[in-house]
Each structure stands twice: as C-alpha cells, then as structure tokens.
Amino acid sequence: MNTYIERLVSKIRPETRITVLTGAGVSAASGVPTFRGPDGLWRKYRPESLATPEAFQRDPKLVWEWYDWRRQTLVTKRPNRAHEVLAAWGERYPNFILITQNVDGLHERAGSQNVIRFHGSIWEVLCWNNCPLSPGRWWDETVPFPEIPPKCPHCNGLIRPGVVWFGEGIDPEVMRLSIEALDCDVFFTIGTSSLVYPAASLVHEAKRRGAFTVEINIEATPASGLLDFALQGPAEEVLERVERVILMGRRKDQNPHTPSP
C-alpha cells in the first residue's frame, strides 16, 4: 500500500486539481450507520419504503420518524479523521472540490467549505406544498421535532427533508458544478458502494476526461476494477497515511537536508 500511496502523492502538487466524491463510508468511523453495511440504514427499512416521494405521500409520519431518528443520532456524532484530512486539503489546495453523497453535514462540521451536497442535506427542509410564502428551502436543526410530521411555519402544511429521494432528479446547479469538477487531475471516490446513480457515474466520466482515479474503500466495488488505484482500507486510516506522506514531502522540500525518519 505504501508504494501506491507514494506514487499517488507524487501526482499531488500545490496546483493539482483534486476532486473528491464521498459516500457513507467516510462517516462510518463517526458511528453513522452506512446504507448497506451490516448495521446499514436500509437493513431496517427498504429504500422504496422510506426514501421516495411516494412513500412520503403515503406515510409522512413514518418517513419523518426515520429522518428525525437519523437527525437525533447525528447530533451525538463527530467528524472523524477522514473528514478532517479532506477539510485540510480544501484549505491547502486551491483547486480542490469536495462532492458528497452524504446528507449528514459532517464534512462542514470538520471545516470543509463549499461542499457540493449531491443529495442535499438532512438539516435542510422545504415546504411539501412549495407554498408561496416559504423560501425554496431553509436550514432547520430542531432535534427532536416536537411534532411528527413537522409543519410548514408558512402554510401549516407539511415540510419534507431537503434530501434527494429515489426517483428525484439532482438539483440542476449541483449537477452542473459536479460535472464541471470532473475536469480534474486526480479524482478520489471514497467510502461509497458506487451503486446509486447518477453519483456513481461521476468517477467514470472523470476518468474519461483524463483524471487519475483513486478509490478508497474497505472492500471492492463495481468501480474498483475500472480505476487507476483501488486503495483498500478504512478512509480514516488511508487518508491519514496519504496526508502523512504529503506532509513529509513538504518538509523535505522546505528543508532538503532533513533526514527521513
């Protein structure tokens, strides 16, 4: 793995255009259940039964019970080393873009700026009736909601979570920014099963456009065999190792006579 990490780091310069796509695996070390892992969120519920507009129409209370439970869980969690390293890269590299499929907000809590939230945020809500008095969507961190399903303060109808459900399109501006970010030198896909589209198509388009593509995951995914590097291991450990090699290299550049440890 070290040789791979050294070869990867040799491709990273201050001006390198780096784009990262993350999935639930990046939040796993924070104790946030993934979707398809052994304790996965979907294990208890079927995606069709909860994360779709039809499910919400049919049973808004059940859907909100699931999201309110996830929000209550999230407030007890903290960003882990994977989030922290990615936030540091966002500071260090001017051409760094982070796209996440996660709706948990942990990247922002770790300090990442301008995160492209491909599937929205569990901390945003919008009026289910799109009532004219309500803003498009707004931030609401109420935990727990005193009333389930919560009501729109502007029309007393229902509000819905500000996430993208199955069968819903990606916000056009989010999609535009994400596609623009595929013109990069190095594309990382980290902690995602690469099963949900169109998010799973991003890494392939980045490769087609000439990016060096790297996957970090604890297991193989449908994308693994198509990428330049598949680094197998927990994101919080692999990213820490990559960061350490980067920092060692920077120290050497600044003090060429530093003996390597």
Q: What is the DSSP code string of 45-63?
A: S-HHHHSSHHHHHH-HHHH
Return the residue nearest ligand BV8 (CB atom): 25
Residues making contact with ligand BV8 (CB under 6 A): 23-25, 28-29, 34-37, 40, 51, 101, 103, 119, 163-169, 191-193, 195-197, 199, 216-219, 221, 234-236
Q: Which of 83, 107, 119, 204 is catalytic?
A: 119
Question: Which residue type sits at 3?
Answer: T
Nearer to ligand BV8, 65 or 155 (CB): 65
Q: Among this protein's residues, is 119 annotated catalytic?
A: yes
Please report how close the Cβ of residue 121 comes to ligand BV8 at its closest, in angstroms. 9
Nearer to ligand BV8, 51 or 182 (CB): 51
Helix/strand/coil percentages in the chain, nearest 5: 40, 15, 45
Nearer to ligand BV8, 37 or 249 (CB): 37
Please report how close the Cβ of residue 168 comes to ligand BV8 at its closest, in angstroms. 6
Distance between CA atoms of 3 and 214, rounded to whole angstroms? 14
Among 222, 162, 180, which residue's Cα sits nearest to residue 197?
Answer: 222
Q: Sign of the CA dihedral 47, 167, 171, 23?
A: positive
Please report how close the Cβ of residue 239 comes to ligand BV8 at its closest, in angstroms. 9
Cα dihedral angle (223, 227, 231, 237), rounded to 10 degrees? -80
Nearer to ligand BV8, 54 or 91 (CB): 54
Catalytically annotated residues:
119
